[in-house]
Amino acid sequence: MTRAFGQRGVLYALLLIALIFSGFKAINGLAELRDTIDLSPDSITGYDGHRAEVEFTRFLDSLSSYSAGIEGIDLDEVTTRFDILWARCQLFIKGRAFEAMREHAGIGEVASDLLKTLQEIEDDVFELERGDLQTLDRLRQHLAPFELALTGMTTRVADLEVETRDHVNEAIQEGIGTLDGLALTFGLVVVVLLSLFGFEALHARKAERQLVAYQEHLEHLVDERTDELRHQAVRLEQALERERELTDMQRQFVSLVSHEFRTPLAIIDGQAQRLIKHNDKIKPDQKINALERVRSAVRRLTDLMESILSSASLEAGSIAFTPAPLNLKALVQQACEGQQEISKSHQIHADIDALPGAYVGDAKLLFQAISNLLSNAVKYSPEANRVSVIGRSTEEGLEIDIRDFGVGIPEDELPKISQRFFRASTSSGIQGTGIGLNLVKSFIAMHSGVMEISSRKGEGSTFTVKLPHRTEDDATGAKAA
């Protein structure tokens, strides 16, 4: 842009120089035209010379008529003509015409000599008497040389007028041409300047539009970047919040796990010390009851260890999904019987005849998922005495409902209930780690199924496992893949 402005500056300078040069040339031409007009026929006209010639002729005629005695011509007429001739010569010599004729025609001396001669014969003219032919001849001799000289002077003046007129016309034409050239040059300069100014104005408007567009683009980029940073800040804050929640849940998990381990260990240790100290005093049925409590505590430790190990394996992605043919109805029945064996305070009602006997899945993962849901149903319904298990087969797949009548789950906590380490607010005072439902959801998802939850606080919860129909053909295809 700076280079463009520099080039236009040079062009402006050149145009200004051309305009100044044309102006000087026009001024010089006009000055020459003025000098020429000063020498024009109006300035050096031979009018005074011609009148002098006429008055000279009239003087000679009056002089001859008076000397010849012609009536009507007296001495006053002669002297009057002499005075007029004298005045004409004076005007001619003292005027600008005399100097012009002296320079251009070289005939100024004729008028000067005539004036001298008139001075010499003035007395003779005023003393001339009628019939004085001798004086008349003497006067004629003095004036005779001027008769032809004045005629020649008049002729030369006429020629000079023609030459001067032609010169003036040429000068006028040159002046007009100079003025036309100046006008044309000025017009071209004005047009070029206007064009340049118009171009600069257009360029300025274009640059302004580009600047506005660039400014809007920058504002748009700033807005986009600001929104992006704002969204990143929100996402970061959300991630930090999730991290804080996860940290809190992990802290709670560690505390719960510690408690979960200490409780069965304390039971085992207490029953073992009782058997050691009072072995001889304890009745057989009491020993069996104590050993049953030890077995229950061991089973709780085993389940807890399996849940923790499974959660760690799931997080590391090292849990293997090994589908194989199995009896789904028998698997659910076995899980119900196992839970019934350790849950003497609850009756587990199983209606699973609609479930197929032949199914393809990972028996270990399915058994652990169903057992976990049964364990939760018993654990979170301490005031109830029954758990319902219903199996169904539909066109879409298989469904297994496990329903309890316990504490339930608040509606606003349902979306988070299957998150790892999360425990509902209604589970306060009830043993648990918050990893069981997360495992169940993951194990069911490995079978291309889902787990749905419906619950009302204080009325209980229903966990529905939905599985797709899977046959031995599916297992064969999976192994081949």
Instruction: Quote the distance between the C-alpha of residue 177 and its chain's center.
Output: 54
Q: How far is CA 433 from the centre of its chain?
A: 58
Q: Tokens in use for 191?
A: 């047009």
Sequence letter at residue 363:
A
**pLDDT band for position 128 (50/70/90)?**
confident
**Digit-coded pLDDT (tens) for 451-479:** 999 999 888 999 999 999 987 665 554 44
- What are the pLDDT digits (tens) for 76-127? 888 888 888 788 777 776 655 556 555 555 556 676 777 788 778 888 778 7
- What local confidence, expressed as pLDDT, does residue 172 receive? 76
Q: Pick from 49, 170, 34: which is nearest to 100 by CA?
A: 49
Q: Helix 108-126 crosses helix 96-104 at what angle (to 10 degrees)?
A: 130
- In 311-372, which ranges are E strands? 324-327, 347-351, 358-361
Q: Mapping DSSP to helix (H, G, I), strand (E, B) and coil, where does residue 409 land?
A: coil
Place of tokens 């007129």: 165
pLDDT band at 222 (very low <50, low <70, confident <90, very high): confident
Give the confidence band of 43 by pLDDT, cuts at 50, 70, 90. very low
Which of 432, 351, 448 lies closest to 397, judged by CA? 448
Tell me which of 470 and 372 has the higher pLDDT: 372
pLDDT of amino acid 303? 67
Q: Residue 430's pLDDT is what?
A: 76
Share of the chain above pLDDT 90, in %: 17
Counts of helices then strands in the chain (DSSP H, E): 12, 7
Q: Tell me: pLDDT of 141 over 50.
A: yes
Distance CA 248, CA 175 (A): 105
Query: Which part of the chain is CATH 1.20.1420?
Result: 2-204
Could you tell me which of 162, 171, 204 has the C-alpha nearest to residue 46?
162
Tokens for 297? 């505590």
Asked if residue 40 has pLDDT above 50, the reply is no
* Strand 347-351 relative to strand 386-393, pairing: parallel
Output the pLDDT for position 398: 94
Cα–Cα distances in angstroms (integers) from residue 233 to residues 225, 245, 248, in the given order: 12, 18, 22
What span, in angstroms and rounded, lies between the C-alpha atoms of 397 and 330? 18
pLDDT of residue 213: 87
Give 353-363 pLDDT, tens digit per residue: 999 989 999 99
pLDDT bucket at 30, cuts 50 / 70 / 90 = low
Ranges in the chain annotated CATH 3.30.565.10: 320-480
Q: What is the pLDDT of residue 58?
A: 83
Q: Which residues pair with 106 in a beta bridge?
A: none
pTM: 0.45
| Domain 320-480, CATH number (from 3.80.10.10, 3.30.565.10, 3.30.70.20, 3.50.50.60) | 3.30.565.10
At 434, is the secondary structure helix, strand, or coil? coil
Q: Is the pLDDT of residue 155 over 80?
A: no
User: CA quadruple 428, 430, 431, 437: dihedral positive or negative?
Assistant: negative
Which residue in 232, 253, 288, 55 sits closest to 150, CA to CA?
Answer: 55
Domain 2-204 = CATH 1.10.530: no
Cα 225 to Cα 237: distance, rounded to the nearest angstrom: 18
- pLDDT, mean over the chain: 77
Reduced DSSP (H G I as helix, E B as strand, rest coil) percent helix, strand, coil of the chain, to 5: 75, 10, 20
Q: Which of 398, 394, 414 has the alpha carbon at shortest distance from 462?
A: 414
| Confidence label for 421 from pLDDT (cuts 50, 70 and 90) | confident
Query: Do the beta carbons of residue 324 and residue 356 sit within 8 Å?
Result: no
Going by the DSSP 8-state scheme, the letter that residue 361 receives in this structure is: E
Give the residue-averaged pLDDT of 66-76.
Answer: 77
